[in-house]
Amino acid sequence: MANSEFDTFNEGVLRGEINLDTGTVKCALVRGYTFSAAHKFVSDVTGAGGVLNGTSAALTGKTQTAGVFDADDTTLTAAASAVDHGLLVFQSSAPGGGADVAAAAQRLIGWYDTGTGLPIQPGTGVVAVQFDAGANRILKVG
């Protein structure tokens, strides 16, 4: 599978259900998941066999410029030493930000399993996540 945003991400932005500026955006290592553009919530990923193996804190330094979303690189802590992890980016809060909502309400943004350093092969402990420094950054809309 190639890197992609979820179709439901586009719907969520248009309906005001996802806000990359004010919402809390995080990333997680996921193994055992087969991408489906139709998935909408983090619970859809885990319901399809995906296992979350570490989640970042809220992304900082978020920017949205000329249709491109970016944020500072981050870290997360992998709880298990396992192979073939993709990186899931999702909004963990309501659109206005605040505390995390239930996984059944956390909105999916993008899935990344192809590229330099992907899939990720973590041991246990801290894993550095470096977002693309190219023109598309985390994602480019349009």
**Per-residue pLDDT for 2 more than 80?**
no
C-alpha to C-alpha distance for 10 and 5, rounded to whole angstroms: 8
Look at residues 81, 76, 90, 50 and name the one whose alpha carbon lies nearest to residue 130: 76
What confidence tens digit (pLDDT) does each residue in 55-104 have? 999 999 999 999 999 999 999 999 888 889 999 999 999 999 999 999 99
C-alpha to C-alpha distance for 123 and 72, rounded to whole angstroms: 23
Full domain range(s) for residue 134? 4-140
Q: Binning pLDDT at 50, 70 and 90, where does residue 1 land? A: low
**Per-residue pLDDT for 111 more than 70?**
yes
DSSP-based three-state secondary structure for 117: coil
How many structural domains does the chain have?
1
What predicted TM-score, i.e. pTM, was given to this entire model?
A: 0.95
**Per-residue pLDDT for 20 more than 80?**
yes
Mean pLDDT of 6-25: 95
